[in-house]
Amino acid sequence: MTGLRKYFTLMRAGIMEQLTFRIAMFVMVLGNIVYLTVIYFLWKAIFESSPTPVVNGMTFESTIVYLVLATAIFNFIEMYTVWEIGRNIQSGKIVLDLIRPMEYRTYLFWSYSGPILTQFFITFLPTFIAVEIVTNMAIPLGMNLLYFLISIIFAIVINYSIDFIVGGICLYSQSIWGINIMKQVVVLLFSGATIPLAFFPEPLAKIAYCLPFRAVYDGPLSILLMENPGFAQVLPTLAMQAFWALVMSLVSIGFWKISIRQITVNGG
């Protein structure tokens, strides 16, 4: 237990740090509402221009629920690790993190995991409840919620690993902005967070299915929207996520080991 304590204490500090910046939190909630309004009217226009109420097997309602929840998930699992790594590299603060008696990858994860918990309560949960009220219970309340929690943990691990790999690239490039923007666009597009995967044209959908990104958003979302699923029903998705979580973790650990030499061998 004492071994785990240092991780939770880092997480706790992250939450406390975030809570000191109250205004930033309110602005985030507000920004979230504005974004969702835009999404609503955009897709409304798309569906109104279509001759049928069902497009690519999805109704307007199911599309909106999907996208709103995707945004809510984004808000709470995104740790902005790449920005953090980039800032730490540029300012040289990374030196101080490297002298901690803890792997950098672990240290960083727990240092920035605090916001996941706060964001869950201040953005995801309210959005979830709002969706339930507006759609008259479109999200089933059953076993899917439990499986969703497992699924979201995999998603967090995969998302963090992707960020950590991109952070490693920053060690070579010494700049973050362009790389991070590209990463965000690629992840959000191929994960189905901006456009549901059902809307993808055939070749693009095939690519998306081979990439790890859909395990971040599409995976947990499809489980969440299932009506009281059995274990056999969610197993393929969870197995796919577990596979990517393992692969991406290993890749990120390995890649970091190689790229950290950029500091240790060539100087910061």
Partner 1 sequence: MENNIVLTNVTKEFKVLNRHEGLKGSIQDLFSRDYKTVRAVDNVSMTISQGEIVGYLGPNGAGKSTTIKMMTGILKPTSGEILINGKTPWKDRNKFCENIGVVFGQRTQLWWALPLIESFKLLKDIYMIPDKDYEETLEFYKTIVDIDPLLHKPVRQMSLGQRTLSDILASFLHSPDVVFLDEPTIGLDVAMKSNIRNLISAINEKRNTTVILTTHDMGDVDALCRRIVIIDKGKMLYDNDIEHLKKVFGSYRTLSLRMSSKELNEGFVESMKKQFDPYGVGVSAEDHWLSLVVNEEKIKVIDVLSKVQESVQVKDMKIEEISTEEVIRKIYTEGI
Binding site for partner 1 (CB under 8 A): 2, 5-6, 9-10, 13, 16-17, 20-21, 91-93, 95-96, 98-103, 263-268
Nearer to partner 1, 96 or 134 (CB): 96
Nearer to partner 1, 93 or 206 (CB): 93
- Smallest distance, partner 1 to C-beta of residue 95, A: 6
* Beta bridge pairs of residue 59: 54
What is the C-alpha separation between 234 and 237, in angstroms, rounded? 6
Task: Report the Cα 249 to chain-centroid distance in Å.
Answer: 15
- CA-nearest of 188, 255, 167, 240 to 210 is 240
Nearer to partner 1, 71 or 88 (CB): 88
Long-range contacts of 192-198 (CB under 8 A, 24+ apart): 192/70, 192/217, 192/218, 192/221, 193/67, 193/70, 193/71, 193/73, 193/74, 193/217, 194/67, 194/70, 196/56, 196/58, 196/63, 196/66, 196/67, 198/56, 198/57, 198/58
- Smallest distance, partner 1 to C-beta of residue 14, A: 9
- Smallest distance, partner 1 to C-beta of residue 222, A: 38
- Smallest distance, partner 1 to C-beta of residue 263, A: 7
Nearer to partner 1, 52 or 266 (CB): 266
- Smallest distance, partner 1 to C-beta of residue 98, A: 5
**What's the chain's Rg over C-alpha atoms?**
19
Number of helices (H), then strands (E), in the chain: 14, 2
Nearer to partner 1, 44 or 100 (CB): 100
- Smallest distance, partner 1 to C-beta of residue 23, A: 13
Nearer to partner 1, 44 or 93 (CB): 93
